[in-house]
Structure 1
Amino acid sequence: MEEIYCAALADLLGYGAAQWVPRFFAAFGSYERAYKASRKEVASRGLLTPFLEKSWGGQRWNSLPERVYDYVQTHPVELLTCQSAGYPELLRQLSLPPAILYVKGRLPDSGQGLAIVGSRKATDYGLGAAAQFSRAAALEGIPVYSGGAYGIDGAAHKAAAEAGGVTVAVLGGGLGKLYPSRHLHLFDRICEKGALVTEFAPWEPPLAPQFLQRNRIIVGLSKAILVVEAGTRSGALNTARTALDENRELFAVPGPITSATSQGTNGLIKQGARLADAPRDVLDFLQGREAGAKAGAKPRQLDLFPELKPEERPRAKELIDWLKKQPGQTLDTLADTFPWPLDQLSMLLMELELAGRIQRTSRNRYIAV
């Protein structure tokens, strides 16, 4: 039952689940005891966040465990917490690993995974490149991870499945709200050898902030990330930045200089991402066969904020690091935390939102993505 209560707690906490669920576990010693704790007990441990003040002990709080239990009893889904034996080791290394995983299918037991990401509005060139790299990885027994979306994601999943390999789709919504619907047949194929994975409860719809949030799981499951095709505002660049934040190796496929969907990937290469113009470039790294490769060498570092002025970058990093630890902050609370002029803080928030580094929710709260 521990998994049930962990999943219920994660859904109750929403965007703050990865940060707060481990604190509840540490404070109470089990997810069940944490979830059943009284409001007074939760408050005494400093865990009654403003987000929980209205919901703890309420009708939704009371019904969530049963709702999760009913779903997993009637669907072929496994729940994994950070304490579960089947929780992927690579994923544990994230700065904020997901508190709960809903898994339909079977996760591969491999530390050599390759993430392939890119534009939803991919060109034939991009689709062909994604299929080429994915097929080559699958034929050598390397799992392929992506986001299950249109474009590059779909091409990568399909090529891996057709090659008889293992592929995993990390979703931006719950398993009961699969998106896109045109990929339902593809999702079935993925589950034959691989899995669908999400940290969101089955009833959660696929919302834009959640797609950005799930990118860290794609990164966390993989040893290397390959960006195939991406524009300058593509969500795939968010995945690339997450890869750098989490010390994963980043590759990019070069594209035509006249193509809008190659501006992002070409920009990554300019900044120092590893150029990948053939699958062997990536496979040699994953299999430890690079000439002159040093054991334990750290991935190269890129400029994480190329869209900002040099003087803005230290503040941007400080702000994002804070939002990772304290998600769901309003402009007022951020202004109280950071002693910067309000106009500069507002402008920085807007620039980071446009760059896909943070997201503003419908309640005007900011989260790092």
Structure 2
Amino acid sequence: MEGLAYWVAFARIPSLTPARFRLLERAFGTLEEAWRAPARQWHALGLEPSVVNAILQARARLDPFQELEALHRWGATALTWHDPAYPPRLREITNPPPILFLQGDLRPQDEKAIAIVGTRQATPYGLEACQRLTRALVQEGFTIVSGLAQGIDARAHQTALEAGGRTLAVVAGGLDRLYPHQHRPLARRIAQQGAVLTEYPLGTRPEPFQFPRRNRILSGLALGVLVVEAPVESGAMSTVRWALDQGREVFAVPGPITSPASAGTNRLIQEGAKLVMEVQDILEELRIEARAVQPPLLEASAPSSTPQAPIGEEASALLSALGSETVHIDDLRRRTGLPMPVVSATLTLLEVNGLVRQVGGMHFARADTAR
């Protein structure tokens, strides 16, 4: 795009909001003309003195073409909201980012996207639910959008990659300042099978206030937001608020009433979010016809003399602690040494997989012994 270097340079000025970008475009025609304009013309637009000073300081220290070259050396590119490759759905939100910096590529097929969000402190149940639903969504042709965080975000990205699908990671700092640091290898894989994108230029450290702002892009890219597991107060709830403001669908996976990690999703369902137990629930709400047959998330297996393979170390420990007895949940916690939220969530996971049954009064038994 002609003049892209000036967009990259103006993006270095934090006080230039989307509304101010539009003002500069209307007044000067191009950002190149805006960059070259004398300060009196900026003042004449009604820009605050602090904003004018920020532009003057940026112009004195920055070379727009060097900024663009640095971006290319990093293996990244930029899209303005005029670029044909800029996501159409994102362009429609109230405050779209004027410029997106990305590694990887955006494709037309990414318009069929679902954002998957949730807690960083995911339980075994949450991770399993996320994996099943993500895999099913990929098989239905969805691009998976998430935020590269630990827990649910990372599991959504990883599952999409393993399933051969596309995934987009929206981050809250510059592409060279990824957070958390340990997810840099994951980000490299995402860039090969989708894109890592941000509205922040290179060198921008991820600050706490930038994460809620980033979330409007997560929801803006997607047809809807699926919350897998989230406390009542969490970043995932911030994404839900943006989604509702943007007219996006909100989906939530139910969880154990004893698990704080599911308190937010359960409340969302009470408030009207679509309860999701299988991918068909999402497809019906979006009025999209299924193209693959998927097993329900909560489909229970018939008891048999040969149990299914345990799901993780916690599940194995609980199955061993149950043996052939009926055991109260408190006794299971003592026998395994696991925290009560983990015991509760893992028992739920075992129940929905048909390996364990609750037989009343918070007593549990293996499915092949419960009668």
State the TM bucket, normalised to the shorter chain: 0.7 to 0.9
Gaps of 5+ in 2: 291-371
Residues 64 and 51 from structure 1, CA distance in 2 versus in 1: closer, same or farther, beyond 3 angstroms? farther
Distance apart, 1:178 and its partner CA: 1.4
Separation in structure 2 between the aligned mates of residue 24 and residue 60 of structure 1, nearest angstrom? 15
Distance apart, 1:60 and its partner CA: 5.9
* Aligned residues of 1:224 and 1:251 also touching (Cα < 8 A): yes
Distance apart, 1:50 and its partner CA: 4.0
The answer for the alignment partner of 1:119 in structure 2 is 119
Question: 1:203-242 alignment to 2 at 5 Å?
Answer: 203-242=203-242
The answer for the alignment partner of 1:98 in structure 2 is 97
The answer for the alignment partner of 2:319 in structure 1 is none
The answer for the alignment partner of 2:8 in structure 1 is 7
Residues 16 and 237 from structure 1, CA distance in 2 versus in 1: closer, same or farther, beyond 3 angstroms? farther
Residues 197 and 59 from structure 1, CA distance in 2 versus in 1: closer, same or farther, beyond 3 angstroms? closer
Between the aligned residues of both structures, percent identity stands at: 40
Give the secondary structure class of the aligned counterpart of 1:215: helix
Residues 170 and 64 from structure 1, CA distance in 2 versus in 1: closer, same or farther, beyond 3 angstroms? farther
Separation in structure 2 between the aligned mates of residue 71 and residue 283 of structure 1, nearest angstrom? 42
Residues 61 and 22 from structure 1, CA distance in 2 versus in 1: closer, same or farther, beyond 3 angstroms? farther
The answer for the alignment partner of 1:75 in structure 2 is 74
Provide, for residues 84-121 of structure 1, a one-character-per-residue CA deviation record: whole Å limited to 9, x for no partner: 11111001111000010001101131322100001111
Q: When the two structures are superposed, what TM-score results if normalisation uses the length of structure 1? A: 0.75
Letter in 1 for 2:192: E
Separation in structure 1 between the aligned mates of residue 261 and residue 59 of structure 2, nearest angstrom? 43
Distance apart, 1:285 and its partner CA: 3.6
Give the secondary structure class of the aligned counterpart of 1:196: strand
Residues 153 and 245 from structure 1, CA distance in 2 versus in 1: closer, same or farther, beyond 3 angstroms? same
Compare 72-81 and 191-200 and name the one that shifted more: 72-81
Separation in structure 2 between the aligned mates of residue 187 and residue 254 of structure 1, nearest angstrom? 29
The answer for the alignment partner of 1:147 in structure 2 is 147
The answer for the alignment partner of 2:50 in structure 1 is 51
Give the secondary structure class of the aligned counterpart of 1:280: helix
Distance apart, 1:237 and its partner CA: 0.3
The answer for the alignment partner of 2:338 in structure 1 is none
Distance apart, 1:240 and its partner CA: 0.3
Distance apart, 1:67 and its partner CA: 4.5
Separation in structure 2 between the aligned mates of residue 135 and residue 90 of structure 1, nearest angstrom? 24
Distance apart, 1:286 and its partner CA: 4.1
Question: 1:225-304 alignment to 2 at 5 Å?
Answer: 225-286=225-286, 288-289=288-289
Residues 61 and 276 from structure 1, CA distance in 2 versus in 1: closer, same or farther, beyond 3 angstroms? farther
The answer for the alignment partner of 1:32 in structure 2 is 32
Compare 99-108 and 59-68 and name the one that shifted more: 59-68
Question: 1:149-168 alignment to 2 at 5 Å?
Answer: 149-168=149-168
Give the secondary structure class of the aligned counterpart of 1:256: coil
Letter in 1 for 2:10: L
Give the secondary structure class of the aligned counterpart of 2:11: helix
Compare 27-36 and 58-67 and name the one that shifted more: 58-67
Separation in structure 1 between the aligned mates of residue 119 and residue 63 of structure 2, nearest angstrom? 36
* Aligned residues of 1:55 and 1:61 also touching (Cα < 8 A): no
Distance apart, 1:144 and its partner CA: 0.3
Give the secondary structure class of the aligned counterpart of 2:240: helix
* Aligned residues of 1:6 and 1:21 also touching (Cα < 8 A): no
Residues 136 and 287 from structure 1, CA distance in 2 versus in 1: closer, same or farther, beyond 3 angstroms? farther
* Aligned residues of 1:229 and 1:255 also touching (Cα < 8 A): yes
Q: If you compute each CA radius of gyration, which structure gives the higher value, 1 or 2?
A: 2
Distance apart, 1:221 and its partner CA: 0.6
